[in-house]
Structure 1
Amino acid sequence: MLGKYHIKYFLGITMASMMTGNLMAQKPLVYPSTAKVDTIDHYFGKDIADPYRWLEDDNSEATKAWVIAQNKVTDAYLADIPYRDKIKARLSELLNFPRYSNPWRKGKYYYFFKNNGLQNQNVMYRQVGLDGTPEVYFDPNTLSADGTMALSGISFTKDGKYCVYSVAKSGSDWQEYFIMDAETKQLLPEKLEWIKFSGVAYKGHGFYYSRYDAPSEAQALSGKNEFHKLYYHKIGTPQSDDQLVFVDKDHPLRNVYGATTEDERFLVLNLSEGTSGAELYYKDLQNPSQSSFQLLVPGFKYDPSVVDNVGDHLLVYTNEDAPNYKLISIDTKNSAKAAWKTVIPEAKETLSGVQMSGGKLFANYMKDAISEVLQYDINGKLERKIDFPGVGTVSGFGGEKEDKTLFYTFTSYIAPATVYKYNVASGKSDIYHQPEVKFNPNDYESKIEFFHSKDGTRVPVFISYKKGIKKDGNNPLMLYGYGGFNISLTPAFSTSNLFFMEQGGIYVVVGLRGGGEYGEAWHQAGMLGKKQNVFDDFIGAAEYLIKEKYTNANKIAIRGGSNGGLLVGACMTQRPDLFKVAIPQVGVLDMLRYQKFTIGWAWKVEYGSSENEEQFNYLIKYSPLHNLKKGTKYPATLITTADHDDRVVPAHSFKFAAALQVANDGTNPVLIRIESKAGHGAGKPVSKVIEESADIWGFTMYNLGMTMK
């Protein structure tokens, strides 16, 4: 079934507090010496030095030696934190409970994922009907001994005969596809390679998928991705026989994503030139006279995506003339805009997605980043608002048109995901699986407050903590944000964050501009030349929390990943006095050269590019790498990255770490943690997640003056 598609680049997690005048203060850090080169770039009459350019070559022996030397310093520092092992043990204990996904039906079977607690990868099970005995269907833990090979996707042909699954190695975006007989689990001989940013769109016993040409070994993890192509693979044949369906030879930096409607009648092409904006084409696969793709929605100003079809009509989710999104119906016999029909109109709240399951439409809205789901018939007639057990995030309601029972999960910052069974006809929900956790959720509280940013904009903050916290201005606090790419931060449970709350910390998430919490207008208010609004919002949140006596500047840690790593880098360089600890993770930190690596070019619609004079002039003002000032007292900083990150290449973190170690006045530590056999975050094994969390929390707690309870 079709769904909303964007190539979005994000990862995030959270951290918190520790101890200042003790063991570490007696051991001044000696950083590895980082060589400088005389590289100068010329931008519109300005000379910009890039002395650590050589660190962009992740294959050079010099870079490899630098990584080893930096990790040695970091490992020694972290090993000396007196309660690091206790943190790791408690994180393991909190995470060690069975966790379930939403089940889904295919034929006579129901499938679901489960993790017994500390398994590196979630295991896929199947059972006959809802009352059958579960059996292991696919165990990704058998793919590699260390858990660094992950199942990144799995689906079935319409008749359920074949199963296609994708595998990612060491967190890379590159995928390999494998095919097996769904009933017997017998693996077929073919393997599909060099797949990236793709789905599986079935047509009979075959499917459409997207790939690139094979790169050279040296360029596999850092080379620019160009000429995305759509192929059709017939099951039972080698990849070399695959049929090329679409490539845009005139636009090498355009991505193509193919999807078919549930009835496999329509093939839809979603073309994108970046992370915002798309153009849609379609082909009626049941109409022999339609030999070429027809334009459905011209681009690339808006973000349309096809949900499914009702006969000749395609249901399209879009923000065209509707910043908060709406659902429209387009007749393929007359696709002119004047003939479009509104099915679900734009509302005051943001419509974050629509799916068609059980013969109904399920519209997921966000009200201040909190889920509300409405059920409509396929013509857009409202049938009911679905009741949920509290304030939080709902996900699910996926299924096929004939399904009578669907599933969804409900979660919040203080409650782990509970799976519910939903009766489409009656609207009744019943608990299907409730996790048994090693803490009492009733001991914790989560609430939403609002503050006004620098320009007067009202911004939400979610504040979570253990009951009994005193607003005396002295609480350790972790401030987390993202603020970009139309990605919304909604309430989600994390045992890692709960650990921090358990230790007396306050965990805060800010709904920054640039995200999607309040629709496309909110997104656009934090992109391109308005990106500074995002940093002002984050800084404003810290100032608000201090004013409201939750904390003080010496007790605030900030954390974010990917675009959130940029957020942390920009805020710590603009207001180093406001934060005690900074954790930029897999961050975009060199805003002048990000577009030169892998898929970085796709972010130009979000950030702008140094190749454009107007955009260069605002990028240079906040690019973290270019705004470090020698002799400044920067927060205690732990930069994290990974050797297989081919989304935000590790060169960003390498160069920023080298420059920050030189610029910092030496009061606070500046360390970089470089994970091996890991990528941007997807598919990371549980063992590595726990190790990283223990290091981040240990560093944070130590430098915030906290002790282990």
Structure 2
Amino acid sequence: MKHPSLIPPASRRRAVRWMALSTLALAGLAGAGAAAADAAYPATPKRAVQDTFHGTAVSEDYRWLEDFERPEVKQWVAAQNALTRARLDAIPGREALAARIKDLVSSRPTGYGSLGLYGQRWFALKFEAGRQQPRIVTMDSPDQPGTERVVLDPTELAADGSLAIDWFQPSPDGQRIAVSLSEKGSERGSLHLYDVASGKAIDVVIPRVQFPTGGGSVSWHADGKGLLYTRYPAPGERPDSDAMFFQEVWTHRLGEPLSRDRRVLGQGLPRIAETFLAAGPKGLQIAQVLNGDGGEEAFWLQQKGGRWQQLSTFADGVKGVQASADGWLYLLSTQGAPKGQVLRLKLGQPLAKAERLVPEAEGTLTQFKLQDGRLYLSYLLGGPSELRRFDLKTRKSDVMPLPPIASVDALVKGAKGELLASVQSYTQPQAWYRVHADGHLEATALAQKANVDFSDVEVLREFATSKDGTRVPLNILRPKGLTLDGSHPVLLYGYGGYSVSQTPGFNALRKVWLERGGVLVIANLRGGGEYGEAWHLAGNLTRKQNVFDDFIGAAEHLIARGYTKPERLAIQGGSNGGLLMGAALTQRPDLFRAVHASVGIYDMLRVELDANGAFNITEFGTVKDEAQFRALLGYSPLHKVRDGTRYPAVLFTTGDHDGRVNPMQSRKMVARLQAAQGAAFADRPILLRTSANAGHGMGSSTSEVIAERTDSFSFLMDQLGMPLQKP
């Protein structure tokens, strides 16, 4: 259920002119779209169902909305979509806002992700303005984008942008490439193999390598003539209810039929295993196995031609493994060091023999790369990054210069000691830098050029205080010279889960909000990984309420500091962040004016019944455990709604093809809130937008992104009384 950020950048992990408006003028504008297109909510019958958990009876009225195959549910969704369209399309200035969003998306800077050197070729996923989907390209060097050649363009296979690249992996020599492709944001991928030189498909298509539950992965054999791949059960191998579970690792040789493929790893792994594969030197293969989404990881190794051997268990705290050509393993470990340390172990020795190489430091260690006798380490300092270098001989380290409040998204090894780092900030787009031996960073030709000017915006770090006294970082983007008089429209974003950290990243669409007088805030909540595993564990399982308390504390801080007031405060989050939206609006309905909740979960007692929900038990808990059930029921948004309460206006967005969060979650929450609000609060509508061409957000086409952003921004701006036309 991990979800790319809606306001922070989505990499999965990125001049403004400000005009002040009077409170009187704002009051006249608020909710104009709702008044202009007033309509009753679609009829939603109540059909009571009762369950009993650990002696506690729990009732609900809208379980019938769970089954989307029922004609009456499809009709209900269509009616909700019609109401939403009528409301949103009637908002004054919407067309101008849509044009501005389209312009920014269409002019977005060219970016390169998944960069890597294979053989003599550099490969990357290229994101370009005006294209529905990114393309896989090769080039001779990051300094020679003019040598670029397209390997795969998914829009040549589906012109409407409905076919997406889930992930790809070139062979070690760069001659072939394996690509997982899926349709309409479903993340249900099949593996396609291509010859890089010709771009033509080769060999067979391997089905069921990728699902939204446990993801998928591939690793080539050292000779490039075969590969390891993740595989879900074939029809008839297991019950249909297990079709997206029991992920295994299989091996395939090019030119051979799939019937000759065989399983090499998977026996005895958890039902909710998520496996990621990587190749090391001299034929070494590494398998990282996650026990669902709660943060437990184990590693297996296979030396050339040998059997798989387990290096670490879920309890050992190993979070990453890299191998060197001289037979050493370098491990990122949190065992006794929740912010991360680096251990070194001779290949073939047990984990107990590992020596501590780089001890735990002030920041949270997120990644490292070994290059030319040095370790390059990226740390999180509560959100922003710090890049350090550690010399293996002298055991000395130094800090390398980065822009202020920036993030290091990736470290990539090149040839002959070359190291590249992907760096971005809230005001500067992503750039690939070459890290020189003397420590300075030099931008390569793959540095993005911003299509918006943030020179009159300042980025501040402030700290809110949560209910239990915990200090919660806030990243605030505001016009320079802002007067803290409580009048400003503020959009507060949060996530808080899965150890996913909200790091600085460039997003041109922020200009849409900022140039209309708004302030943007991204909170670093517990449940994330900004301060290490302890920060994550403080916000999961029975401690999940801490996340909501942190977010409420952030809102109260913004009000107390004079940024805004409740009627000018909007909040936004998706997936796990959608749960956050549901909890915040039901626990403190007085604190917010408008909410955008995307692909969220709201009935916490039935999440685990869906395929991907089972993978989230290690993060959220299960109703089968009494203490966890009590915690789940204590904050489950669906069960916290109270009739007659004046809730904020809410736009719920979801997609028919979401395999991570069942769209029924949004349907049921909308039905419950609409019944609770009734016609008494017509100025604060509860709306549902369901897209037939999207899933959880991954793989969405450019046109789908433009349409969704237009709807969400126009809804929030209308509710807060912001001008939709550019001032």
Q: Shorter-chain TM-score: which interval?
A: over 0.9
8 Å CA contact 2:33–2:88 kept in 1: the answer is: no
Specify the SS of the correspondent of 2:282.
coil
Which of 220, 223, 227 is 1:202 aligned to? Answer: 220
2:345 equivalent to 1:305: no
8 Å CA contact 1:210–1:231 kept in 2: the answer is: yes
What is the aligned-residue RMSD (CA, Å)?
A: 2.4
2:697 equivalent to 1:681: yes
Rounded Cα–Cα distance in structure 1 between residues aligned with 2:439 and 2:506: 29
Structure 1 156/573 Cα, relative in aligned 2: closer, same or farther at 3 Å? same
Question: What TM-score results when the alignment is normalised by the length of structure 1?
Answer: 0.92
2:248 equivalent to 1:212: no
Structure 1 674/257 Cα, relative in aligned 2: closer, same or farther at 3 Å? same
Number of the residue aligned with 1:4 = none
Structure 1 68/198 Cα, relative in aligned 2: closer, same or farther at 3 Å? same
Q: Choose 390-399 or 697-706, whichever is displaced more.
A: 390-399
Aligned partner letter, 2:718: Y
Specify the SS of the correspondent of 1:35.
coil
Number of the residue aligned with 1:86 = 96
2:247 equivalent to 1:228: yes
Aligned partner letter, 2:704: K
Specify the SS of the correspondent of 2:445.
strand
Rounded Cα–Cα distance in structure 2 between residues aligned with 1:404 and 1:315: 18
2:29 equivalent to 1:9: no
Aligned partner letter, 1:207: L
Specify the SS of the correspondent of 2:708.
helix
Specify the SS of the correspondent of 1:620.
helix
Which of 697, 709, 716 is 1:693 aligned to? Answer: 709
8 Å CA contact 2:650–2:685 kept in 1: the answer is: yes
Rounded Cα–Cα distance in structure 1 between residues aligned with 2:488 and 2:419: 43
Rounded Cα–Cα distance in structure 2 between residues aligned with 1:141 and 1:360: 42
Aligned partner letter, 2:334: N
Q: How does 1:479-490 map to 2 (within 5 A)?
A: 479-490=492-503
Which of 259, 267, 272 is 1:253 aligned to? Answer: 272
8 Å CA contact 1:126–1:134 kept in 2: the answer is: yes
Number of the residue aligned with 1:169 = 183
Structure 1 123/298 Cα, relative in aligned 2: closer, same or farther at 3 Å? closer
Structure 1 214/458 Cα, relative in aligned 2: closer, same or farther at 3 Å? same
Rounded Cα–Cα distance in structure 2 between residues aligned with 1:670 and 1:683: 27
Structure 1 262/505 Cα, relative in aligned 2: closer, same or farther at 3 Å? farther
2:119 equivalent to 1:119: no
Q: How does 1:444-455 map to 2 (within 5 A)?
A: 444-455=457-468
List per-residue Cα deviations over 1:179-236 (Å, max 9, x = no partner). 11122222114101112222111213211121212469xx99x977322111112122
Rounded Cα–Cα distance in structure 2 between residues aligned with 1:254 and 1:110: 31
2:50 equivalent to 1:40: yes
Q: How does 1:607-646 map to 2 (within 5 A)?
A: 607-646=620-659
Cα shift at 1:359: 6.1
Q: How does 1:471-486 map to 2 (within 5 A)?
A: 471-486=484-499
Number of the residue aligned with 2:426 = 413
List per-residue Cα deviations over 1:442-490 (Å, max 9, x = no partner). 1211110112211111110000022243211010000000011111001
Rounded Cα–Cα distance in structure 2 between residues aligned with 1:502 and 1:26: 25
Specify the SS of the correspondent of 2:509.
helix
Q: Choose 266-275 or 580-589, whichever is displaced more.
A: 266-275
Q: How does 1:182-193 map to 2 (within 5 A)?
A: 182-193=196-207
Rounded Cα–Cα distance in structure 2 between residues aligned with 1:366 and 1:37: 49
Specify the SS of the correspondent of 1:190.
strand
Q: Choose 79-88 or 300-309, whichever is displaced more.
A: 300-309
Structure 1 250/347 Cα, relative in aligned 2: closer, same or farther at 3 Å? closer
8 Å CA contact 1:404–1:424 kept in 2: the answer is: no
Number of the residue aligned with 2:358 = 344
Aligned partner letter, 1:399: K
Aligned partner letter, 2:507: S
Q: How does 1:255-404 map to 2 (within 5 A)?
A: 255-286=274-305, 288=306, 291=307, 293-300=308-315, 302-337=317-352, 339-357=353-371, 360-377=374-391, 381-382=395-396, 384-400=398-414, 402-404=415-417
Which of 69, 75, 100 is 1:59 aligned to? Answer: 69
Rounded Cα–Cα distance in structure 1 between residues aligned with 2:330 and 2:572: 39
Aligned partner letter, 2:2: Y
Number of the residue aligned with 1:5 = none
Aligned partner letter, 1:416: P
Specify the SS of the correspondent of 2:169.
strand
List per-residue Cα deviations over 1:423-459 (Å, max 9, x = no partner). 3576442353444444322121111011221111111
Rounded Cα–Cα distance in structure 2 between residues aligned with 1:340 and 1:23: 63
8 Å CA contact 1:324–1:349 kept in 2: the answer is: yes
8 Å CA contact 1:408–1:421 kept in 2: the answer is: yes
Number of the residue aligned with 1:517 = 530
Q: Give aligned pairs, total.
A: 692
Structure 1 104/304 Cα, relative in aligned 2: closer, same or farther at 3 Å? closer
8 Å CA contact 1:198–1:210 kept in 2: the answer is: yes
Aligned partner letter, 2:261: D
Number of the residue aligned with 1:3 = none
Rounded Cα–Cα distance in structure 1 between residues aligned with 2:302 and 2:125: 34
8 Å CA contact 2:233–2:244 kept in 1: the answer is: no
Question: What TM-score results when the alignment is normalised by the length of structure 2?
Answer: 0.90
8 Å CA contact 1:405–1:424 kept in 2: the answer is: no
Specify the SS of the correspondent of 2:634.
helix
Cα shift at 1:14: 3.5
Cα shift at 1:329: 1.8
Rounded Cα–Cα distance in structure 1 between residues aligned with 2:451 and 2:219: 41
Which of 691, 702, 718 is 1:702 aligned to? Answer: 718
Structure 1 319/249 Cα, relative in aligned 2: closer, same or farther at 3 Å? closer
Structure 1 229/114 Cα, relative in aligned 2: closer, same or farther at 3 Å? closer
Rounded Cα–Cα distance in structure 1 between residues aligned with 2:501 and 2:394: 25
Number of the residue aligned with 2:23 = none
Q: Choose 263-272 or 466-475, whichever is displaced more.
A: 263-272
Aligned partner letter, 2:74: K
Q: Choose 383-392 or 68-77, whichever is displaced more.
A: 383-392
Specify the SS of the correspondent of 1:419.
strand
Cα shift at 1:382: 4.1
List per-residue Cα deviations over 1:146-172 (Å, max 9, x = no partner). 212111222211122211111121111
Rounded Cα–Cα distance in structure 1 between residues aligned with 2:466 and 2:269: 43
Specify the SS of the correspondent of 2:123.
strand
Cα shift at 1:86: 1.0
Number of the residue aligned with 1:50 = 60
Rounded Cα–Cα distance in structure 1 between residues aligned with 2:556 and 2:290: 42
Aligned partner letter, 2:518: G
Rounded Cα–Cα distance in structure 2 between residues aligned with 1:232 and 1:547: 59
Specify the SS of the correspondent of 2:715.
helix
2:551 equivalent to 1:538: yes
Rounded Cα–Cα distance in structure 2 between residues aligned with 1:472 and 1:63: 47
8 Å CA contact 2:621–2:628 kept in 1: the answer is: yes
| Gap runs ≥5 in structure 1 | 1-7
Cα shift at 1:350: 0.6
Structure 1 65/506 Cα, relative in aligned 2: closer, same or farther at 3 Å? same
8 Å CA contact 2:603–2:636 kept in 1: the answer is: yes
Aligned partner letter, 2:120: K
8 Å CA contact 2:175–2:195 kept in 1: the answer is: yes
Cα shift at 1:665: 4.7
Rounded Cα–Cα distance in structure 2 between residues aligned with 1:23 and 1:184: 53
Aligned partner letter, 1:98: P
Aligned partner letter, 2:162: T
Which of 109, 121, 137 is 1:98 aligned to? Answer: 109
8 Å CA contact 1:256–1:272 kept in 2: the answer is: no
Structure 1 320/44 Cα, relative in aligned 2: closer, same or farther at 3 Å? same
Structure 1 333/11 Cα, relative in aligned 2: closer, same or farther at 3 Å? closer
Number of the residue aligned with 1:567 = 580
Rounded Cα–Cα distance in structure 1 between residues aligned with 2:347 and 2:138: 38
